[in-house]
Structure 1
Amino acid sequence: MNSRCFLVHPQQEYSMVPFSSNSATEDRVASARNRPPRVTPPSFMVRMAMRISRARWFTFLRRVFHYQNGSRSNLGSNPFNSSTWMMLEFIALILQITITTFTLAISKRERPIWPMRIWISGYDIGCVLNLLLLYGRYRQIYLTQGDSLSLSDMEQQRNNEETRMSHLMNKCRTSLELFFAIWFVMGNVWVFDSRFGSFHHAPKLHVLCIILLAWNAMCYSFPFLLFVLLCCCVPLISTLLGYNMNMASSNKGASDDQISQLPSWRHKEAGVKLELGNGSEGSKKLINEDPECCICLAKYKDKEEVRQLPCSHMFHLKCVDQWLKITSCCPLCKQGLER
């Protein structure tokens, strides 16, 4: 009896041990399968590429490249008419006018061989004329934007006059660009010709001419540098890192703060005064609005909330808010929220 019991118990113990070990192994395998895969953090280069692709200046460069090289029927608004770019132009012109005027004032005793002082004075006058044209562009785009919303006979006549003024300004701008191109060539010939070497006779004026010529060379080569950046460098970096920088910048959605800053109001019949809803209490204006929302293709109803984008296109508030959270550009003209 004892021997039988002794033989039985070890067999039972021996048969139970592998069973428990097999079940534990299967549990570990199942838990390993159900466990989500461990995501490796992006490298330093990928994080830098993500930050660059989502930066405002990179998005602006893509808009400039699309405007200069895209199809004329599918272009958005001119990115060079944005308030940020016009402010940069204003600062650059003020700096050039100040530096050239100050250098001419402190270098009266210098006697250059070639007419360097005349060249700098002509460049200074051209910058002043450019500053006046910049003010005219700003006044035409922003200060008269609210008046162009209503459509009466007097306003149509006024719009025709503004159109003539815009054509005149474009002609003046083209003439100034031609003047600067000719002046740039003349300055290069005089500065880098050994017969007109006047660094020892007029060092301050000579250095100023070289700085102005280098600045103009950078401005003239901007389209080529932009092409090299977006068509050569960015695709190469995206291929090496495995991260599409163009898609990341174009698919970036707007934040809630950016969306809330856009003007919104409750819809009423066309030609009736509308009350703005973002902090401008009691302010009213007339607007010639579209009959339907281009996102949901439904007509605007009375007291429905609508929102207007910086490009003056209007949509249902709920429709355009959902759109902007996905991509921060207008559904029609593809202009971004940054003006």
Structure 2
Amino acid sequence: MEEQRALRPTLNHSLLRYPTVSTTFTIPLTRYTTRLISSDRHRPLLADCAEDHSDSDDFSRRSFIRENCSYSMPILVLDVVWNLAFVLVSVVVLFSTFRERPSTPLRLWISGYGLQCLLHVGFVFFEYQRSMAHHGFEDRAAHRSIMKRLESMNTMTSSVWWVFGFYWIVMGGQALLQDSPRLYWLTVVFLAFDLFFILFCIGMACVIFFSLCCCIPIVAFAYAMTTREGASEEDIRTLPKYTFRQAAVLGTFNLGKEREPISSTVELDNGHRIKELALHPEDSECCICLSRYEDGTELYTLPCNHHFHCGCIAKWLRINATCPLCKSNIRRGDTLV
């Protein structure tokens, strides 16, 4: 038997469910965030959520456990209170407007709106009770599938119902406002809430889009420029400087050994000393300009022992302080890639 261990809640479901078209656009924000499962009151053990099972259905069981093991009580209460508030307001206005005679069926629309809120509260409460009960995995999955279908049907009905409400408000016009002001304004408020959440979700999507498409590349570029900042003139001047000579002048390479550069110091007639570098013919080429070295050409060698024309490597290092071959940073001595 496996050791029983506490499961960390990870469920995302509905918050502040609006039974209108906004639910279609705001499912991640509203309807399916009620189950942000992080309650300390209900932390079931592995045996509470799943029984011994084979490897074939391990993934599906773990997925079910992650989504249904516990509920966040504050979010659950907020969702229920929010929707019940809509129901209460609808009932109060309907009972207080018997004398109003709207030219469009606003009473029917408000009643349907409140009913959808009430159904959503029932779905949430049923889901919470089911998650707290100790049933088998198969029973819990079957009940969850049924409730998801019913909630999806309620969402689709809400979307269509919002369109009806908007149409009746527009068709009623000024006459509807004069004949049934309270029913009119309540319908407008409900529609406005839904429209607000639509715009809110669109705005959040735009913010996320621009963050991903604009901000992140800018930050990445700034980081790259920081890590690949060019070398200063002082850094370049401190590099070892040599004068190239053909290998035969200083000696020959032992073909049985690795062909390493041969450096020596030569004293001139005027007392000055110069450093000479002898390279194998196959290695006597600058990989930046792709030109072969000639006798008397001045070369810079980097800490990684790669060599280049002084002019070529100086231009390179002012832009990027790394070796063109091995990407070793000349200031830190590390390797970037």
- TM superposition score category, shorter chain reference: 0.3 to 0.5
Q: Which structure shows the higher helix fraction?
A: 1
